[in-house]
Structure 1
Amino acid sequence: MPIAIAESAPSVQEEGAGPLSELANEKTYQRLAEQILSLIASGEFPVGKRLPSERNLADRFQVSRTSVREAVIALEVQEMVEVRGGSGIYVCRPADSVKPVYVPDGPGPFELLRARRLLEGEIAAQAAELRKDIDVDRIYSALAAMRDNCDDKRANEDADRMFHVRIAEATGNAVLVSMVTALWDQLRGPIWARLEEHFHTPDLREASLQDHQKVFSALVARDAAGARNAMHAHIDRVVGEFVKGWA
């Protein structure tokens, strides 16, 4: 019997290699979405019925739950499934309407987050060792803007991006600045936007502010290991929020 999706967020270790350490191919979620569509077309997942749980789908197709989450979001963007808070994920279009899954340019959201964790953790560590007082001032200005705009999603997001760019600038390495900027600029696609619709809340922004304060404190203290760990913890928490059950 199909099971409604209502599971708690997994820890980073819960999915075997974990949502941030899994070295999945960037097309995993698109392939999975195509497989789910095939099962809709075959009648295994009828219109109006709930999909199995994300954990069950992950086990069946031998992929991570982050890949399942991206596949579900990709299908939701195309209106093939509907996410009903507190109930589950339902098929909402008939088999004869099945079309190839829309494949956006570039990587999926969780692949970007894995890349950010790896890159920005090391950047934060180096920035802690190399930063100058003017860098601290600029990073603090971005942090203050995040705090002042907790009730304005777009302004908060802009300040968040600037905080991370300022940390990269503190390394004195223009290539690292370009890489961080490029990663953030890719977080604008339809899959990411739909994820945020489901999970980005004022509480999430407040939690992110606290994460950023910990990163900033480590930078001020010139604590490279602390800065790295704080950045890792921040991105791990974001992933945890984005793979919570559909409650």
Structure 2
Amino acid sequence: MAPNQKLYQRIADSIAAEIASGAYEPGARLPAERDLAEQFEVSRPTIREAMIALEIRGLVGAKKGSGIYVSTTPPETALIAPELDVGAFELIEARILFESEAAALAAAAIDEPQLAELRALLGEMKQERDTDAAFDADKRFHIAIAAATGNSLIISVIEMLWAVREQSPLCVHMFARARRKGVTPRANEHELIVDALAQHDPQRARDAMRAHLRRVTDDLLDATKLELMEKAEADFAEQLRRVSARKAV
């Protein structure tokens, strides 16, 4: 494993090496996500990130209703691993750890002007819904909670996590998929966080933030699964079109 290599990258590289060695031949079906998770002793979200990384390389693709298959004609550069950096699931895992505790700390320290700012941002999320403005309000909401802790290091860490979300190619790729599937900031969950902060209840704020970010993980799992399924359906439809065209000749 290369220095600082991410877990999903190690798994993607391992599977890519098996493909290159012939362990998985062109057109062969890869083991199920659950089986790969057991084989590599990692979570299924980590396997999902590895599969998406392999898909981006052009090494694998989905087939309708049957799973992930090795590409029959991978591009010449497919075995060159791009530096995709942090995946969305890894990022959210870190956000759950830091932002949940930041919310608990903020609950003890937050004042009325800071609560008013959060309510204004919540209003923007509700009004703008799936626009860029709504996603920007989501980011500012979470950073405002960090600011309410009054701890400059906590603020820096959470700002850094959001910077990773915007700069890591794999993260950007996965969140863009989710947005295309209609995933938008969950205003109702943000409202529960504000209510807990307004009550100055650290445990309730911690739980509300944790529950919100876990649902973000669920949204990403659904969105990436749907993306693969729809790609497979599109490929299947194209195959049907070609067969029909041949029959007409």
In 2, the alpha carbon distance for the partners of 1:156 and 1:48 equals 42
Secondary structure in 2 aligned to 1:179? Answer: helix
In 2, the alpha carbon distance for the partners of 1:95 and 1:201 equals 26
Aligned position for 2:110: 131
Shift in CA distance, 197/93, structure 1 to aligned 2, threshold 3 Å: farther
Do residues 158 (structure 1) and 140 (structure 2) align? no
Aligned position for 1:66: 45
Deviations 1:6-51 (A, max 9, x none): xxxxxxxxxxxxxxxxxxx862111100111122123333333432
Match of 1:175 among 144, 153, 158: 153
Identity rate, percent: 37
Matched length: 220
Letter in 1 for 2:11: L
Match of 1:90 among 69, 80, 85: 69
Shift in CA distance, 130/86, structure 1 to aligned 2, threshold 3 Å: farther
Letter in 2 for 1:101: A
Match of 1:104 among 74, 84, 105: 84
Aligned position for 1:16: none
Secondary structure in 1 aligned to 2:184? Answer: helix
In 2, the alpha carbon distance for the partners of 1:239 and 1:209 equals 16
Shift in CA distance, 29/181, structure 1 to aligned 2, threshold 3 Å: same
Q: Which has the larger radius of gyration?
A: 2
Is this contact kept in 2: 1:41–1:96, CA < 8 A? no
Aligned position for 2:233: none
Secondary structure in 2 aligned to 1:38? Answer: helix
In 2, the alpha carbon distance for the partners of 1:171 and 1:222 equals 12
Unaligned runs of 5+ in 2: 227-249
Letter in 1 for 2:199: A
Unaligned runs of 5+ in 1: 1-24
Letter in 1 for 2:48: R
In 2, the alpha carbon distance for the partners of 1:80 and 1:101 equals 11
CA RMSD after TM alignment = 2.4
Shift in CA distance, 84/151, structure 1 to aligned 2, threshold 3 Å: farther
Letter in 1 for 2:12: A
In 2, the alpha carbon distance for the partners of 1:202 and 1:136 equals 31
Structure (1/2) with the larger helix percentage: 2
In 2, the alpha carbon distance for the partners of 1:84 and 1:177 equals 44
Do residues 232 (structure 1) and 215 (structure 2) align? no
Letter in 2 for 1:174: S
TM-score, normalization by structure 2: 0.79
Secondary structure in 2 aligned to 1:89? Answer: strand
Do residues 145 (structure 1) and 110 (structure 2) align? no
How is 1:207-218 mapped onto 2 (pairs within 5 angstroms)? Answer: 208-218=186-196
In 2, the alpha carbon distance for the partners of 1:139 and 1:231 equals 14
Shift in CA distance, 94/161, structure 1 to aligned 2, threshold 3 Å: same
TM-score, normalization by structure 1: 0.79
Secondary structure in 1 aligned to 2:153? Answer: helix
Larger relative contact order (Cα-Cα within 8 Å, sequence gap ≥ 6): 1
Is this contact kept in 2: 1:135–1:170, CA < 8 A? yes
